[in-house]
Structure 1
Amino acid sequence: MHISMWKKMIHPDDKPAVMKAFNEHLEGHTTRLENEHRLLAGSGEWKWIIDRGEVIARDNYGKPLRMVGTIVDITERKKAEETLRESEERYCLLFNNSIDAVLLADPGGGVYAANPEACRIFERTEDELCQSGIDCIIDTTDPSYYAVLKEWNRTGKFKGELTLKRKNGAIFTGEISSAIFKDKNGHYKTSIFIRDITERKQFEKEMARLDRLNLVGEMAAGIGHEIRNPMTTVRGFLQMLEGKQDCSKYKKYFNLMISELDRTNTIITEFLSLAKNKTVELKPQNINHIIQALFPLIEADGMITDKNIEIETSEVPDIALNEKEIRQLILNLVRNGFEAMSPGGKLTIKTFRDGDEVVFAVQDQGGGIKTDILDKIGTPFLTTKDYGTGLGLAVCFSIASRHNATINFETSLCGTTFFVRFKM
């Protein structure tokens, strides 16, 4: 092939680089010519080729006299390389942008790659994860850990939930999918996909708690009035008998029975507050105004029990509220806070705006909530008080639900804070 014909067949996009290398070789700047580029084939297709050449004779002035070379079709190789490149790009895209944490490890637990999500949820850099290995992220005190390990060793894969830990020691529940595979060199490796399901677990607990509340509420709506009616009759007859002369020696017993009936009636009233289908009228109101109206009553409760009160209200917008129910919610949380503290303790009532929420908070200086009942807070009839009904917090959760609000809390040995979050 004549050199002029070869030049015409070079792809326009490749031609500048090819001709530059070609001319440099002709001028003696390189000892050998080698290029990969596209060349027009007789079929009209562009083929990838590799051409190699060398000047083998020059005149006394260094001018090239003769050159030999070869052209090899590498189109298939180029297609394979392109397919591999695209595959690697897709892998990198999925690896780096996955909503799940992805770890690549060897069967012994050594990590050699971690994606950004893995670094985020474990609060470690990729280097830290690679240096520490799998052991640094697994909570080995989880009772199911050894069963998982046994299953993984037996089958080479695992799919399920496991307790994991972040760099600061905080634990969380992760949904894991892991399997062994062979890399391109035939070595066994492990892929581990992890999803932080903390929020999902909390949502499931909240739904279970609401289901219990709804069940109790349906029971309350169905039988509450039927119980109250005969109780009213019994109470009336006890009052009548109490007034009779020949029953005067039993007066203290009648008083005791009447007081117990009144206490039962109070419980039924709270019981009915749990009813899911209870209709309440909501209208725009400011929660600060409700707190101010209740303050004399709250202050009196504090003085009786020798507790201090601090009000820290911030300017917040009006939200849709039912004043009667919100008064009950505030009093329940405040009185719970008083009962959690020893004399001299301080209770702080706060309101503030947090994003698109108005937050009402009650903070006590008690000893905190015991860990064995943390997951049961708000469950009807759960109480740690000697004479409690276990309905106060359940009623608060029910009221919050009717206001499209949520209740959460923070607790420690220094006290507990309940937060009621209302959507604006």
Structure 2
Amino acid sequence: MFQEFFEQNSNPIVLIDHTGTITHANQRFISLSGYPKQEMERQLNWKDFVAPDDRSRLEVAEESWQQAIEQEQPRYVYQFINRLGQKKTIVMTITPLPETKHIALAYLDISAKSFEHALRESEIRYRLLVEHSPDGILIHQEGRILFANQQCANFVGLTSPDDLLGQSPLTLIHPESLSYANERLRLLKEQQQPLPPGELMLQSTKGKVTYIEVHSVPITFNGQPAVLTVARDITERKKIEGALRLSEERYLKAFEASPNMGAIVSLGDHRYLDVNNTWQKLSGYTKAEVLGKHIEEIPTFDQEVLQRLYALFAQCPVRNAEITFLAKNGEKHTVYLSADIIHVDDQPCIFAVAQDITELKKYRNEINRLDQLHLLGETAAGIAHEIRNPMTTVRGYLQIYQRKPDSPLSSHHMDLMIKELDRANHIITEFLSIARTHPGDQQRCDLNQLLEAMEPLLVTDAVQFSHQVIFNCQPIPQLLLNQKEIRQLLLNLVHNGFEAMAPGGRLIIATSATRSHVLLQVSDYGSGISPEHLKKLGTPFFTTKDKGTGLGLAICYSIAARHQANIEVQSSSQGTTFSVRFPRIR
């Protein structure tokens, strides 16, 4: 860049070393001196071009250059002599170049003819530049406009800038910007220093508003203090900024108010740039905890899900990918993730939206389970009568043969057959219990009193399994319950808990209440239920027991449904809790 400036500069320039020897000269200096480049560079000294009458004066001045340069750039006027002995009056400006240990000498020819021509050309260029400038240029003094170019007149809807002369510059200002404009004028007068750029509103004669950016500096005009102001039209820029700001506000409102989780993550280093309110509410983390952190620093995804996320991000856009999201409190949520790449401040980012479908999946599973129960109920109702009739006949004949002393079968064998028939009849009864949709005889009762009545039975069962049962019952309101069914539900859950634990285990039965529900919880300290089996709980005939029918939990779910309650299961390697949530009586 310096080389281009050096060679193309309109003034003659040379570089000299500490001895004064010319090391580089631009084309304008070569023309001024009359020497070819090869005869000058590293051959001649700058003082070789000083007329004899001025040489001693400049040699003395040269000794003080270094000190003077630290304050300002020294300038000297003297007679320059070229190769042919011709003299010209020049101004020489000295500029140090510390990084190269050189000094630059710039020359300006101020010989009468040359100077007048240059001045005249300069004035013409300046006037053309000012008159045709796309920026408004204004000079005002003592509250009156002394000069304005055409663009200033255009700003306020006038034909000629002469119409502005003599007016106060404040007459151009929109009322909303008057106080700010007055403050700028006051600061200019007090400080006599250029002011930082500012924005003002102008009002034309036809009421049109123009936004301008102004640069103001104090100057001397006709020997008196004045102010030079340059104004640039920024109306279009303000419109674009306004539209962008409105778009950002709309986006921000939509982003923050969305019922879905939203997050913006940098594509390069996978750090959170923003999260919305729903994300914070569902995750349990605040923006302060998240922003700037890598997605692996916030434990909302396990390693398997993280690896899947990276693969999904690499193939954006993503639509409705089902993943598991971990909240701060340990809760797992199933979400549909959609993501695409956007740019924020020219930085590629991932804009991700996640819809929580945890409850939806529960509802779908419940509907599937109820459909299965309905199908089972229709089947059970259809065949129960046909199966029970022959079973009753067979059981009756077995009882008759039992009483005959000459029976062909031993009493032991007939007892076994009757027990198996009773067992089959019990299974049919459970079938019908699952299929039943009518709530039955429900009455107001206290669940705690029901548990108290069942305590001796439950404690006895616990002893048989070598376990301990603990009751933790809080005050709760009365519920509409079918006591017989609730006893069956509780016995099934308690027996499952006993069977899940090794001898010496503890099982806790607890009750509590919220504003809208009463909670019955049965917690064991067994080895837990695997995620694969959790999905199938309540499905008829699904069992992990060697002698189980797979109907116990199905009956529990059916009883809960008839009481408009729902069953939730939390399980880990430390144990399992079944929570039955009953609606309060309104």
Deviations, residues 88-112 of structure 1 (Å, cap 9, x unaligned):
2223333444443434345445335
The residue that corresponds to 1:179 in the other structure is 340
Structure 1 unpaired stretches of 5+:
none
**TM-score under structure 2 normalisation?**
0.63
Of 270, 273, 276, 1:110 maps to 270
Of 254, 266, 269, 2:426 maps to 266
Q: Against the structure 1 CA distance between its residues 31 and 183, is the aligned structure 2 distance closer, same or farther, given a 3 Å change threshold?
A: closer
The residue that corresponds to 1:47 in the other structure is 210
Contact 1:138 1:165 (8 Å CA) reproduced: yes
The residue that corresponds to 2:176 in the other structure is 13
Percent of matched pairs sharing the same residue: 37
- Amino acid across the alignment from 2:177: D
Deviations, residues 292-343 of structure 1 (Å, cap 9, x unaligned):
2223333333344443333222221111111121121122222223333444
Of 546, 555, 578, 1:395 maps to 555
Of 552, 567, 574, 1:407 maps to 567
Aligned counterparts of 1:388 and 1:228: Cα–Cα separation in 2: 22
Aligned counterparts of 1:127 and 1:326: Cα–Cα separation in 2: 45
Contact 1:124 1:167 (8 Å CA) reproduced: no
The residue that corresponds to 1:38 in the other structure is 201
Contact 2:284 2:328 (8 Å CA) reproduced: yes
The residue that corresponds to 1:332 in the other structure is 492
**Distance apart, 1:233 and its partner CA:** 2.1
**SS of residue matched to 1:141:** helix
**SS of residue matched to 1:39:** strand
Deviations, residues 219-257 of structure 1 (Å, cap 9, x unaligned):
323333332233212211222233334425443332222
The residue that corresponds to 1:195 in the other structure is 355
Q: Against the structure 1 CA distance between its residues 29 and 217, is the aligned structure 2 distance closer, same or farther, given a 3 Å change threshold?
A: farther
The residue that corresponds to 1:25 in the other structure is 188
Q: Against the structure 1 CA distance between its residues 190 and 301, is the aligned structure 2 distance closer, same or farther, given a 3 Å change threshold?
A: closer
The residue that corresponds to 2:8 in the other structure is none
Of 122, 145, 161, 2:322 maps to 161
Of 412, 428, 440, 1:252 maps to 412
Contact 2:528 2:571 (8 Å CA) reproduced: yes
Deviations, residues 348-396 of structure 1 (Å, cap 9, x unaligned):
3222223422112223343333444222122111223333222111111
Contact 2:437 2:562 (8 Å CA) reproduced: no
Please tell me whether residue 229 in structure 1 is matched to residue 374 in structure 2. no
- Amino acid across the alignment from 1:132: H
Aligned counterparts of 1:177 and 1:362: Cα–Cα separation in 2: 38
**Distance apart, 1:126 and its partner CA:** 6.4
Q: Against the structure 1 CA distance between its residues 224 and 17, is the aligned structure 2 distance closer, same or farther, given a 3 Å change threshold?
A: same
Contact 1:25 1:33 (8 Å CA) reproduced: no
**Distance apart, 1:419 and its partner CA:** 1.7
Query: How many equivalent residue pairs?
Result: 417
**SS of residue matched to 1:37:** strand
Contact 2:518 2:581 (8 Å CA) reproduced: yes
The residue that corresponds to 2:219 in the other structure is 56
Contact 1:220 1:274 (8 Å CA) reproduced: no
Aligned counterparts of 2:429 and 2:209: Cα–Cα separation in 1: 86
Q: Against the structure 1 CA distance between its residues 321 and 70, is the aligned structure 2 distance closer, same or farther, given a 3 Å change threshold?
A: same
What is the aligned-residue RMSD (CA, Å)? 3.4
Aligned counterparts of 2:519 and 2:290: Cα–Cα separation in 1: 39
Q: Against the structure 1 CA distance between its residues 381 and 104, is the aligned structure 2 distance closer, same or farther, given a 3 Å change threshold?
A: same
- Amino acid across the alignment from 2:194: T
- Amino acid across the alignment from 1:141: E
Q: Against the structure 1 CA distance between its residues 240 and 114, is the aligned structure 2 distance closer, same or farther, given a 3 Å change threshold?
A: same
**Distance apart, 1:52 and its partner CA:** 4.2
Query: Computing the radius of gyration over CA atoms, which structure comes out larger, 1 or 2?
Result: 2
Please tell me whether residue 81 in structure 1 is matched to residue 244 in structure 2. no
